[in-house]
Chain A
């Protein structure tokens, strides 16, 4: 009989457990009692508190992308197309993927560490004996908030990136914001925007559910908490790339 190597067995086991955890989210998440107050709090923590980091990185990316593109575009005499090219690149790919990766680093690690710490200090058990379903209170609220906040953050990040790009263009030649914005919009079609927006819900869900899964099943004390935070980021980053690959294939079917 074929014997699988241990690391493949572990991978398959963890994938199965994570799938079961995600299934439990859908099974329990939409039944009362609804943790509305905690969900709103998590939207604030996950969404609002990520604005400065996401904004800063988005601005730098927009600016740097424009500055890096310019020499090649000038060489071929098409520098006038920079806004259009940056617009498509940011809206289709760079905005969603970079924001999702930063989100995974900030939110995935924070959820993994927070839940991991709660697990090893028995706070999750304490919640259960206080008449609270910890899965709903901790996992459903955080995962739902991550799923809904990431698309908003990506929209915000796209706008800031385009503003950075506009400043990048203006470092070399004056261009009005209205004209820059027109060039961006004129070259965008629905297929650039809609699939890119839809995939961010999946990215957000992946970051939320993986962070919660890693934290919820944390063990081995403080070392386990560190491992939960670290592996939340690593696994969700890889999953984001895999989902992106799938999203591109699906979007291509509608081209």
Chain B
């Protein structure tokens, strides 16, 4: 049997974060294994987004340890953190496309900023490939404001893919989308995992999405990892707090 610590791409131990008197994460423990889709499920405001923002270094926790690809992100300097951020992509809930840039410039931005030595042709090929992955090559010269909600989400997904990350953190990828577009995004998440062998942590409370993408589900309740398991195992649970998500 493989050593689980070796196969973990993210290990979180004893993570604590509070905002004022509100304890959002309270000695939270979790691990993400290589190649898996792990869904973090919890109520709105339970701290799911805070958790993944701590992983990527956007929010500093008070206590705990977050190891990403073997490095404790809380001890890294800016250069080391930027190196980790090349390997860990983040899909924002609001998509976070730059309003003042075209789709092409949005996709080129991470490539230009991470100081890769790429020729214009290489950059162009990477942008086209990322757009092909989400089926939106024709939008390359459009502005984000000209796109529908679903298209913006797919462009944001293309931007997260452009650096070929090992890990993708999805912050509520289907929130605010109609059921058909949600299914398209879910299919894309699964396709990306198959094509690039990425490991994903997906924040969601959309149970349809959870059922279709999750290898494992971690339940964030009262700041702790309350339960963890497959969809089938958790949906069969008799625990009241767990059951309320599956009813």
Contacts and interface: CB of A to CB of B under 8 A. Distances in A.
Interface of A: 114, 117-118, 121-123, 125-133
A125 B58 contact: yes
A121 B95 CA distance: 8
Contacts of A133: 78
Contact of A130 (B99, B100, B113): B113
Contacts of A121: 94-96, 99
A129 B90 contact: yes
B160 to A, nearest CB: 9
Contacts of B99: 117-118, 121, 123
A123 B85 contact: no
Contact of A131 (B93, B100, B113): B113
A118 B95 CA distance: 11
B30 interface: no
B92 A122 contact: yes
B69 interface: no
B98 interface: yes
25 contacts: A114-B100, A118-B98, A121-B99, A122-B94, A122-B96, A123-B98, A123-B99, A125-B53, A125-B96, A126-B90, A126-B96, A127-B98, A127-B109, A128-B58, A129-B56, A129-B85, A129-B90, A131-B82, A131-B85, A131-B86, A131-B110, A131-B113, A131-B114, A132-B109, A132-B113
Nearest to A126: B96
Contact of B110 (A114, A117, A125, A130): A130
Contacts of B86: 131
Range of interface residues on B (Cβ < 8 Å): 20 to 34
A41 to B, nearest CB: 10
B185 to A, nearest CB: 18
Nearest to B91: A126
A128 B110 CA distance: 10
A131 B116 CA distance: 11
A46 to B, nearest CB: 14
Among A118, A123, A128, A131, chain B packs the most CB atoms within 10 A around the CB of: A131
A131 B85 CA distance: 7
A118 B144 CA distance: 13
B114 A122 contact: no
A118 B86 CA distance: 22
A125 B208 CA distance: 28
A14 to B, nearest CB: 19
Contacts of A128: 58
A190 B119 CA distance: 52
Given A128-B58, A131-B113, 4 more contacts: A118-B98, A122-B93, A126-B90, A132-B109
Nearest to B109: A130
Interface in B87-119: 89-90, 92-100, 109-110, 113-115
Contacts of A122: 92-94, 96
A123 B96 contact: yes
Contacts of A126: 90, 92, 96, 98
Contacts of A129: 56, 58, 85, 89-90
Contacts of B56: 129
A62 B110 CA distance: 49
From A122, A126, A128, residue with most partner B Cβ within 10 Å: A126
Contacts of B89: 129
User: Considering the complex of A and B, which 5 residue pairs feature the smallest CB-CB distances, nearest first?
Assistant: A126-B96, A122-B96, A130-B110, A131-B114, A131-B82
A132 B110 CA distance: 8
A130 B92 CA distance: 12
Contacts of B90: 126, 129
Contacts of B96: 121-123, 125-126
Nearest to A120: B94
Interface string B105-138: 0000110011100000000000000000000000
B77 to A, nearest CB: 13
A132 B58 CA distance: 12
Contacts of B95: 121
